[in-house]
Amino acid sequence: MRASLPFSAAHPSLRRALAARNYSEPTPVQAAVLDAAPERDLLVSAQTGSGKTVAFGLALAPRLLGEAERFDKPGAPRALIVTPTRELAQQVHRELSWLYAETGARMTTCVGGMDPRRERDALDRGVHFVVGTPGRLCDHLERGSLVLSRIEAVVLDEADEMLDMGFREDLERLLDAMPAERRSLMFSATIPKGIAALAKRYQKNALRIATAGEGERHHDIEYHAIPVVPRERDRAVVNLLRYHDAPGALVFCATRDGVTRLAAELNERGFSVAALSGELTQRERNTALQALRDGRARVCVATDVAARGLDLPDLGLVIHADPPQNQQVLVHRSGRTGRAGKHGLAILIVNDNARRYAERMFHSARIDVSWRAAPSADDIRIKDQDQLVLEIRELTSEVNDDDRRVAQTLLADRSAEDLVAALVRIRRDARPSPEELTTPPSMRARGPEPKHARKPEPKRGHDEGRHDERRTHEPRERGDRHERGPRPGAGSVWFTINVGRSKNADPKWLVPLICRRGNVTKRVIGKIQILARETRVEIAADAAEDFAQAIRRPDEKDRNIHIEPVDAEN
């Protein structure tokens, strides 16, 4: 494969669109896709922010357009792009719209949270491309408004995330409804066992493309790990945001309630914050995203699902306020920064008692990480002094004659030093106050290591090897008890499912069902206890109320399976 391929290999109509946007050379993933045979299926792993939307847009053109400059009259869709979230679907739609602007392509999105009648009307009028989320696409398929008999190419974007969210059944239904003679492209940040199995079943002689090695995919991202004592996580977030003062920062929480609470706390402390989580309406989400893009908000607090597909300008900092479930989520989250050759910083806040777990996760992801103490209030005040000097010096360049006349009046009875000090105080008071933090025991014992990355300790025996990539997608089994990732803890709530060993209950199909029925991700699921005639599942307390509401909704796919809350000892 050639290392770089000019855009002259792209379809002429798309090449003109690229030139209009000043695209001169393809990114590695775009070059690799252009270099592949135009009819061959592709299984692509590429770093987030590597230009993969344009890459698969380029890959679709030879199959859909051939030698023609423009599309024929629209009808049943000829290309389907499936994404895990509506934000990513809308972003893909925007990118493909300008890329195919000269081809007369008609496109529509089919995503949750939008009016299905408008989507149905768009499909009835005829389209060439459909971009959507698995659940909404399956809804249109069931109602007959989405016809897949003419599909010539399908793209699964962020395929690993869709499997993690429990969409395997929906994806298989969509793929089974398409013609066998089609081109299939799967794009994924990583290729775990589930993605490999899906590719083997639905792709033919797929070309495997990996545009970055394991070590290279983190090349533009610097990783820090910050141990904190329990109950000081939010204070550490405040100090990290203050100290690094990035133009844009993304803070990850595990649950919607956690997003709401942390965003409110940061807002109260004086940060300009936007929150993104599942309960927001589409209009509220769009408003929050626009505030981030135009700079009115500099901090975004979000869940993993809400943050998928976000393309925010000047995002220099990612903070994992709640730990990622596994190393793949760590990579996905952190990949929101360090894009397009820019340097990024990803910081994991670690409960001091969970340091070994975090070390094993970094080791499994092959990430070099620097363990260091959180910035102290004194560190921030010292840094503020330097920044205030620069800010106030820059202000003098904008002074006019009216300003000087006011200054002369003030200087008549106040010293210059007092006046500048008052200005410094005003500028300082406009900044959120730093927090006083407790030094955790591990940092007192080991001390910070800021000069070089500390590699996590190697695995020692069977018990410490449970967090490698192979194990992150399947539960660890001990008889009929199954534990997944970090436990929800003592405040969890138990639910019962009316299937057990007698009905061949198994976590491999129960977990996707629980995620889909409860509208949750795997990280809120704790223990799964499979009994003779029922299964009990533990749900994190801060997600239990939403989970209980979601499972009450009727379900057409599994009418005979019921999930209900129970009273059980934890």
The residue extents of the domains of the chain are 7-210, 216-375+439-446, 378-396+407-429, 474-565
Q: Same CATH fold, 216-375+439-446 and 7-210?
A: yes
Distance, CA of 77 to CA of 225 (rounded, Å): 47
**Cα 141 from chain centroid (whole Å):** 27
Say what the pLDDT of residue 47 is: 65
493 φ/ψ sector (left φ>0, alpha ψ -120 to 50, else beta): beta
Distance, CA of 12 to CA of 19 (rounded, Å): 10
Multiple choice CATH, 7-210, 3.40.50.300, 3.30.530.20, 3.30.450.70, 1.10.260.40: 3.40.50.300
Q: Would you state the structure tokens that stand for residue 514, as one six-digit string?
A: 């629980």
**Cα 140 from chain centroid (whole Å):** 26
Beta strand ranges found along 150-247 (DSSP E): 153-157, 183-188, 207-210, 221-228
Distance, CA of 267 to CA of 261 (rounded, Å): 10
| Superfamily in which the 474-565 domain is placed by CATH | RRM (RNA recognition motif) domain (3.30.70.330)
Reduced to 3 states (helix: H, G, I; strand: E, B; else coil), residue 170 is helix
DSSP letter for each residue of 77-142: -SEEEE-SSHHHHHHHHHHHHHHTGGGT--EEEE-TTS-HHHHHHHHHH-BSEEEE-HHHHHHHHH
Distance, CA of 271 to CA of 263 (rounded, Å): 9
Distance, CA of 152 to CA of 303 (rounded, Å): 35
140 closest CA partner among 159, 156, 123: 123
| Superfamily in which the 216-375+439-446 domain is placed by CATH | P-loop containing nucleotide triphosphate hydrolases (3.40.50.300)
The amino acid that residue 309 corresponds to is G
CA 289, 290, 294: angle at the middle one, nearest 5?
120
Buried (b) or exposed (e) across 63-85, using 16+ Cβ within 10 A? Answer: ebbeeeeebeebeebbbbbbbbb
Distance, CA of 502 to CA of 506 (rounded, Å): 11
Say what the pLDDT of residue 58 is: 95
420 closest CA partner among 433, 407, 404, 431: 407
Helix and strand numbers (H, E) in the chain are: 21, 20
> Residue-wise pLDDT tens for the chain (570 aa)?
333 446 777 899 999 999 888 887 888 889 889 888 888 999 998 766 678 899 999 999 999 999 899 999 999 999 999 998 888 898 899 999 999 999 999 999 999 878 899 999 999 999 999 999 999 999 999 999 999 999 999 999 988 888 877 889 999 999 999 999 999 999 987 787 888 899 999 999 899 998 754 445 556 789 999 999 988 999 999 999 999 988 889 999 988 889 989 999 999 888 999 998 877 777 787 788 888 888 889 999 998 876 666 667 678 899 999 998 888 788 878 888 877 667 889 999 998 888 888 998 998 888 889 999 999 999 999 988 888 888 888 888 788 888 888 888 888 988 988 888 888 888 888 888 888 898 888 777 554 444 434 444 443 333 333 333 333 333 333 334 444 444 444 468 889 998 887 777 888 788 888 988 888 888 889 888 888 788 999 998 888 888 888 888 877 677 778 898 875 443
